[in-house]
Structure 1
């Protein structure tokens, strides 16, 4: 969406000829309105000049973001305790930020469009991400753990226990999405677009994690400690799990076809640098390549660093602050033994933190190029709803060991049934939140 060019373009298109009172075309050199015509030309030239300067500033800003990321990468490569994993995480985050922003890959936006407008377009981006991610995870997990039937799990994979706590966490997360106007990854990439409620929602996420830590021991001892951890390849092998995975996704895709709007044919245009730039940075990307790119990034990130997730650093910040204040329980039972977006007491930025930073930077650069960066207005009312929504999402993500990226995308891609349980519970929460019109609070 380009907000700055329509007026100037329309004015410029009216300049070459002008109709006189008789209705015939007349030349500006012989009409009585010559001063007016000259004024129009001057205004058009000024408008086009302002547009060109604004475009130049946006491009320069995006270039500066890239230069800053490159410089940070060089420093991280040499810094003690960081090195290649931090650099890769940073660039994986940049790639995700660009894809999320250009493809509007926000789970809440996609689900609101589906439930309220009966439009399944965005759902296909999620399905594509899961399909490509599943194929990629088979290759990666198969390399890490060739025989899945021996009772072991692939290292670091987001395969969690299935319990009523997971269901409650998913529902709370879905309700929080409605209040905050986005999931956690959606809030992060929308920071790069100037969405002023996003930082408030993320503050709520930190508070919600704190509440999760306080409730963890009771929930763990009552529900989670003996909960089953189900991983499809342990029963079906990698081939059977992938076949079932793709069959389920294909069934959902076919079932949603009636809700897919008819796409009008686009007028063929000659290929040029300007047309390529317009296609990349102005219209919303097609959901299928958007989702496919997310799936590829997720699989490569798992192979080189760790599964995708956006809550480990946020949760670690909350846990560290509470730990240093002496406000945490003396022991959080079982938390550090479970797979997922694990939190820890840290004094430095983790690889997940660099991924989050890259995500915001990539989104910011993409938003600048697309002329989508705009500081939104906040009010006490929408700030309060964002904070409350963040608290619900933070609590839900903490007790579920992740969010829509860590549990849903990374979990389902590695064939963890916990990913599907969380997804269904989250869908129920979003549906309920929309019915209650929490997104209008």
Structure 2
């Protein structure tokens, strides 16, 4: 059945709208306006991710295996736009709350190299990255729901092993903005992104006779409610909402910290003393563990993504796409989810928190993450054939 003839799933849409209204009321009356804004930004992210199918995993795999570069070129464009816009806001006062906006700067370390490589490999097994897992699971994909559960478990185990990975060699956080100044760091990163874009573009053009540079700008089949949205629109909207997240939360968009927190809350309920682990004694994690989940901005934005993707899939008539989950795919979902979670914890984020928000913030660790996650994906696409053949 084509997208044009699919009917809106009014039942699922009703649940999504009702949940959105209830949580919005709860945040407005019981938490803070700031958390309400973060939640609504998450809604926008969920809708954008779903309708533009903006995941890193498939785009990287298409380029690695077939040199089809449309998704990867859209990601490069997204990073370039984010680098420019973030440079105006990092270190300045937020319009929404009383404080300065900080970038996603993390250490350049052995743990980042190992963790990002692990994440890149695992996301090819699972068939989704951090953001991809969340929005596809939210739209009814059973395999990705399994992946999400084991993503949480892997994240929690990563926090348990935090001391070991922290003890390995590290250069500490390196901010290109601090090292070279905002203007020079922007020019440097845009130069690298331009070279990457050119290499990707030429590789696709050489390999594929049907290559069209304008494919990421294709609005010919654009449907606001049913999709698909062109990749360029998805890229621009994700940058827009990430800038808003910077304003509302005080830091850029992230996803995976919440997965570890959710798992920690669950096992703590059953008597596991996670608060004694060194990771959960750090300032930010300890505060998040002590407080309600609804006080954690990453959890709040993830809830928004869940309901945004749920509503978008209902509008498109695509909620709960039945798919065969055989034994091999089930194992791939478990392994992919677990090692994505573990790798994200080691590398201080995923494709969103480390790569997207890291590079946008001028963090060198974002570039290291990009390199080793892509190398991991190159190996991961080979392992993937064992499970999906």
Q: TM-score, normalised by structure 2?
A: 0.86
Tell me, what secondary structure is at the counterpart of 1:367?
helix
- Cα deviation for residue 67 of structure 1 reads 4.7
Distance (Å, rounded) in 1 between the aligned partners of 2:259 and 2:190: 32
Tell me, what secondary structure is at the counterpart of 2:223?
helix
1:14-71 Cα distance to aligned partner (Å, 9 max, x none): xxxxxxxxxxxxxxxxxxxxxxxxxxxxxxxxxxxxxxxx62x525743652354134
Tell me, what secondary structure is at the counterpart of 2:228?
coil
Once structures 1 and 2 are overlaid, which stretch shifts more, 106-115 or 324-333? 324-333
Work out whether 1:394 is the aligned partner of 2:344.
no
Tell me, what secondary structure is at the counterpart of 2:41?
helix
Rg larger in 1 or in 2?
A: 1
Tell me, what secondary structure is at the counterpart of 1:228?
strand
- Cα deviation for residue 3 of structure 1 reads 5.3
- Cα deviation for residue 363 of structure 1 reads 1.3
Tell me, what secondary structure is at the counterpart of 1:256?
helix
The equivalences for 1:169-318 within 5 A come to 169-224=115-170, 227-258=171-202, 259=204, 261-263=210-212, 279-305=223-249, 306-318=251-263
Unaligned runs of at least 5 residues, structure 1: 6-53, 146-153, 267-274
- Cα deviation for residue 368 of structure 1 reads 2.1
Question: In structure 1, what is the equivalent of residue 97 of structure 2?
Answer: none
Find 2:9's aligned residue among 36, 39, 58.
58
Q: 1:439 to 1:297 in 2, by over 3 A?
A: farther
- RCO (CA 8 Å, sep 6+): is it higher in 1 or 2? 2
Is 1:317–1:346's contact at 8 Å kept on the other side of the alignment? no
Is 2:93–2:101's contact at 8 Å kept on the other side of the alignment? yes
Distance (Å, rounded) in 2 between the aligned partners of 1:121 and 1:139: 28
Q: 1:289 to 1:4 in 2, by over 3 A?
A: closer
Find 1:106's aligned residue among 40, 55, 62.
55
Work out whether 1:409 is the aligned partner of 2:356.
yes
- Cα deviation for residue 343 of structure 1 reads 6.4
Q: TM-score, normalised by structure 1?
A: 0.76
Q: 1:92 to 1:438 in 2, by over 3 A?
A: farther
Work out whether 1:351 is the aligned partner of 2:297.
yes
- Cα deviation for residue 167 of structure 1 reads 0.5
Q: 1:281 to 1:191 in 2, by over 3 A?
A: same
Is 1:98–1:359's contact at 8 Å kept on the other side of the alignment? yes
Q: 1:438 to 1:169 in 2, by over 3 A?
A: farther
- Cα deviation for residue 327 of structure 1 reads 4.8
Question: In structure 2, what is the equivalent of residue 140 of structure 1?
Answer: 89
Distance (Å, rounded) in 1 between the aligned partners of 2:279 and 2:306: 33
Distance (Å, rounded) in 1 between the aligned partners of 2:281 and 2:156: 14
Q: 1:136 to 1:77 in 2, by over 3 A?
A: same
Work out whether 1:440 is the aligned partner of 2:384.
no
Question: In structure 2, what is the equivalent of residue 2 of structure 1?
Answer: 2
- Cα deviation for residue 337 of structure 1 reads 5.8
Is 1:312–1:343's contact at 8 Å kept on the other side of the alignment? no
Is 2:91–2:102's contact at 8 Å kept on the other side of the alignment? no
Q: 1:333 to 1:72 in 2, by over 3 A?
A: closer
Unaligned runs of at least 5 residues, structure 2: 95-99
Question: In structure 2, what is the equivalent of residue 70 of structure 1?
Answer: 21
Distance (Å, rounded) in 2 between the aligned partners of 1:366 and 1:287: 16
- Cα deviation for residue 104 of structure 1 reads 1.0
Distance (Å, rounded) in 2 between the aligned partners of 1:362 and 1:333: 31
Distance (Å, rounded) in 1 between the aligned partners of 2:189 and 2:181: 12
Is 1:170–1:396's contact at 8 Å kept on the other side of the alignment? yes
Work out whether 1:161 is the aligned partner of 2:117.
no
- Cα deviation for residue 323 of structure 1 reads 4.6
1:173-231 Cα distance to aligned partner (Å, 9 max, x none): 1121012111121011102332101111111112112221222112212334xx32211
Distance (Å, rounded) in 1 between the aligned partners of 2:279 and 2:152: 20
Is 1:195–1:375's contact at 8 Å kept on the other side of the alignment? yes
Tell me, what secondary structure is at the counterpart of 1:245?
helix
Is 1:323–1:345's contact at 8 Å kept on the other side of the alignment? no
Work out whether 1:382 is the aligned partner of 2:305.
no
Once structures 1 and 2 are overlaid, which stretch shifts more, 189-198 or 61-70? 61-70
Is 1:2–1:282's contact at 8 Å kept on the other side of the alignment? no
Is 1:158–1:411's contact at 8 Å kept on the other side of the alignment? yes
- Cα deviation for residue 329 of structure 1 reads 7.8
Is 1:181–1:439's contact at 8 Å kept on the other side of the alignment? no
Aligned length: 370
Find 1:326's aligned residue among 272, 292, 295.
272
